[in-house]
Amino acid sequence: MIINAQETSEPRTYVDHILEHWHKDEDAEALVQGAQRLTRGEARRRLFGLAHALRRKGLAPGDGVGLFLANRVDSVLVQLAVHLIGCRVVFLPPEPGPGELAALVEQSRARAVVTDPLFAERAADAAGRSVHAPELLSLGPCAQPCTDLLALAAECPEERPGDVPAPGADEAITVLYTGGTLGRPKLAAHSHRLYDALVDLAEDDPQASRTGFFPTMTPGTDRVLAATLLTHGSGHLTSIQALVTGSVLVVLPEFEAGAALSVLREERITATMFVPPMLYALLDHPECVPGALPALRRIVVGGAASSPSRLQQAVEVFGPVLSQGYGQSEALGITAFGAEDLASEGARRPELWRSCGRAISDIEIEIRAEDSTAALPVRQVGEVCVRGETVMLGYYEDPERTAAALHDGWLRTGDVGYLDAEGYLYLVDRAKDIIVTGGTSDNVYSRVLEDFLLTLPGVRNAAALGVPDEEYGEAVQIFLATAEGADVDPDAVGAAVTAELGELYTPRKTVLLDRLPTTKVGKVDKKALRAAWTTATHLR
């Protein structure tokens, strides 16, 4: 007998897992953003209305829908609605310029672009440049000529849309922007297998969840803060893992340390995820003192390299609640280091504070030399290569780049690191951030230098760059964000670097700043620092 999958009680997608929770305890909170508080019942009905509204605009299973959204509750719901009707989510982050954004919309073959009213002008420009002529939809009234999707959803049925086919095994259902060159963006495409792995880690295997994307999340009991952008991998995974476990999701519209502390405290947040500069800003806030956040049980730090000294400072302030995670748009989950393990193992082996943990369930890691498929021995530095369910299908509509990045299911991450004998992964740099000061044996690893700089008094954040040098190819230049009132002597910094790391790491120049520029997702913006250095050089 053949049974239709829609007639079975078994969930078929991660959205079904979310809806299972939202059909129970309908008056319990589900989504929060400031004064806006949706119960599970309200969230479910609004989700169904948005799904019907998208269908009324002619969207059918397999169509791409660009999401150019700010951090808000309705952004979470519209993303779920796109998947609920079998369409492909295309995340459009705010950082690309007009040409790159238009290329992203064009290459992703989006049939519609849903924009936040704040971004409507940029979204209309990008959609207008596309030969596919995607329809512009807005989450609320805006100044551009487009359909108000929220108003349309309010007129639609509050019942689940039917006749949605299950996604194919190798069908791209989510596409993430991950850089590229001007006019030729890289779009990491993921299938339903990513979400199946996330659901398995979050719900089906409590032990596996300790080494998952969000270690030790307790189903149904957490209040989770989404502090990073929902259109980036970190914010997307934080929100989805919260929802599939039945947790309350609190959305932070924009990160600022004082506002984040207030929300963490007032909403009794138990779990959140920060990129390192966010964590550092929080630690530097005068109100961030031990005992200030009694409800907080875990902070996941990921998205960029973390300073061991700053991680240890966070444990001193918040207690043993700190977890580490490592992933990228091409592989949204690679390693994790649970808070309990980090606290206990870190005390036994202090070097583990530099590690980003061990492979999560169903992920394999090998360290390989350039242009080699053979794994390097333990503790030998090479490129991190990974294989598993969280790895992308490939770059969307880009077979050339896909072939360069993926070989027999193995992804070359572009990150440089090594494994120890117990399987802990240590990242030493991004391949593109290595500073080459001579031959191939004279590499300066910017992460090693930045970690040391963050141990110096008065230094709040640090970045190291390679700048052109006629004799050596590249010279080391460092940028330091210093604490208010701190007396940081650049010459003393250089001497300390030389004494600790050797002459190879000695900076040619040290620049002191009040703060380092960051990207929209909160990482240190080395492109902006490099551009500022280039401009200053040309003006001499």
**How many whole angstroms separate alpha carbon 169 and alpha carbon 329?**
20
Q: Same CATH fold, 192-431 and 8-28+39-190? A: yes
**Beta strand pairing call for 331-337 and 358-359:** antiparallel
**How many whole angstroms separate alpha carbon 220 and alpha carbon 339?**
20
Name the CATH superfamily housing domain 192-431.
ANL, N-terminal domain (3.40.50.12780)
Q: Please say whether the beta carbons of 278 and 461 come within 8 A.
A: no
**How many whole angstroms separate alpha carbon 195 and alpha carbon 116?**
25
Tokens representing 534 are 């280039």
- Specify the pLDDT at position 220: 63
Widest CA span in the chain:
79
- Per-residue buried b or exposed e for 274-284, using 16+ beta carbons within 10 Å of the residue's own CB: bbbbbbbbbbb
**How many whole angstroms separate alpha carbon 148 and alpha carbon 133?**
18
Q: Please say whether the beta carbons of 165 and 143 come within 8 A.
A: no
Can you give the C-alpha Rg of the chain in angstroms?
23
Q: Please say whether the beta carbons of 226 and 217 come within 8 A.
A: no
Partnered with residue 463 across adjacent β-strands are 479
Packing angle, helices 233-244 and 73-84, rounded to 10: 80
Q: Please say whether the beta carbons of 212 and 123 come within 8 A.
A: no
Q: DSSP states of 385-413 as a string? A: EEEETTB-SEETT-HHHHHHHEETTEEEE
Tokens representing 457 are 């008094």
pLDDT along the chain (540 residues), means of 10: 39 89 96 97 98 97 97 98 98 84 92 96 92 94 94 97 91 89 82 89 50 53 93 93 95 95 97 90 94 94 80 92 90 89 81 90 92 90 93 95 94 92 88 63 73 90 82 80 90 90 86 87 80 50
Q: In what order do the strands lie in the sheet with 36-39?
A: 36-39, 29-33, 248-251, 223-226, 271-274, 298-301, 322-328, 331-337, 358-359
Q: DSSP states of 195-211 as a string? A: HHHHHIIIII-HHHHTT
Q: Per CATH, is 434-538 categorized as 3.40.50.2300?
A: no
CATH number of 8-28+39-190: 3.40.50.980
Q: What angle do CA 322, 323, 328 make, to 5 degrees?
A: 135
Tokens representing 103 are 């290329």
**Beta strand pairing call for 147-148 and 135-138:** parallel
Q: Domain locations in the chain?
A: 8-28+39-190, 192-431, 434-538
Q: In what order do the strands lie in the sheet with 473-482?
A: 459-469, 473-482, 509-513
Indicate yes or no: pTM above 0.85.
no
Q: Is the dihedral of CA 66, 235, 409, 186 positive or negative?
A: positive
**How many whole angstroms separate alpha carbon 91 and alpha carbon 464?**
30
User: With the CA atoms of 113, 59, 393 and 170 taken in that order, what torsion angle do they form, in degrees rounded to the nearest 10?
Assistant: 180
- Specify the pLDDT at position 198: 82
DSSP 354: G
